[in-house]
Structure 1
Amino acid sequence: MQIIYWLLIAVMVVGIIGAVVPAIPGSSLILIAIIVWGIVSSSFAAIKIPLIVTIIVLLLSVGVDFLASYVGARQAGASKWGQIGAIVGLVVGFLGLLPTLPFGGPLLGILLGPLLGAIIGEYIYRREFGLAVKAGIGIVVGSLVGNLIQGLLAIAAVVVFVVTTWPQVFGS
Structure 2
Amino acid sequence: MTTTLLWVLSVALIVIGVAGTVLPALPGTILVLAGIWLGAWIGDFTQVGGWTLGIITVLAVVAWVMDYVAGLLGAKKVGASNLAILGAAIGTVVGLFMGIVGILFMPLVGAAIGEYLDRQDHERAVKVGIATWLGIMLGMIAKVVIVFMMIGLFIAALLI
Tell me the TM-score normalised to structure 1 length: 0.80
- Return the alpha-carbon distance in structure 2 between the equivalents of residues 119 and 15 of structure 1: 30
- Return the alpha-carbon distance in structure 1 between the equivalents of residues 35 and 133 of structure 2: 30
User: Match of 2:155, as an amino acid?
Assistant: V
Match of 2:81 among 75, 79, 82: 79
Q: Which runs of 5+ in 1 are unaligned?
A: 97-104, 168-172
Q: Which residue of 2 aligns with 1:88?
A: 90
Whether the 8 Å contact between 1:19 and 1:147 is mirrored in structure 2 is yes
- Return the alpha-carbon distance in structure 1 between the equivalents of residues 117 and 158 of structure 2: 53
Q: What does 1:44-55 align with in structure 2 at a 5 Å threshold?
A: 44-47=45-48, 48-55=50-57
- The alpha carbon displacement at 1:7 in A equals 5.8
Q: What does 1:1-172 align with in structure 2 at a 5 Å threshold?
A: 5=7, 8-41=10-43, 43-47=44-48, 48-94=50-96, 96=97, 105-167=98-160
* 1:27-56 Cα distance to aligned partner (Å, 9 max, x none): 111111122223323x12432233212210
- Return the alpha-carbon distance in structure 2 between the equivalents of residues 64 and 31 of structure 1: 16
With 139-148 and 27-36 compared, the bigger mean Cα shift is at 27-36
- Return the alpha-carbon distance in structure 1 between the equivalents of residues 135 and 80 of structure 2: 11
- Return the alpha-carbon distance in structure 2 between the equivalents of residues 13 and 122 of structure 1: 37
Structure 2 residue matching 1:120: 3-state secondary structure: helix
Q: Which has the higher contact order (CA 8 A, sep 6+)?
A: 1
CA RMSD of aligned residues (A): 2.1
- Return the alpha-carbon distance in structure 1 between the equivalents of residues 67 and 13 of structure 2: 22
- Return the alpha-carbon distance in structure 2 between the equivalents of residues 93 and 165 of structure 1: 38
Corresponding residue pairs, total:
157
Whether the 8 Å contact between 1:17 and 1:151 is mirrored in structure 2 is no
Percent identical pairs in the alignment equals 31
- Return the alpha-carbon distance in structure 1 between the equivalents of residues 9 and 94 of structure 2: 33
- The alpha carbon displacement at 1:80 in A equals 1.4
User: Match of 2:47, as an amino acid?
Assistant: A
Q: Which runs of 5+ in 2 are unaligned?
A: none
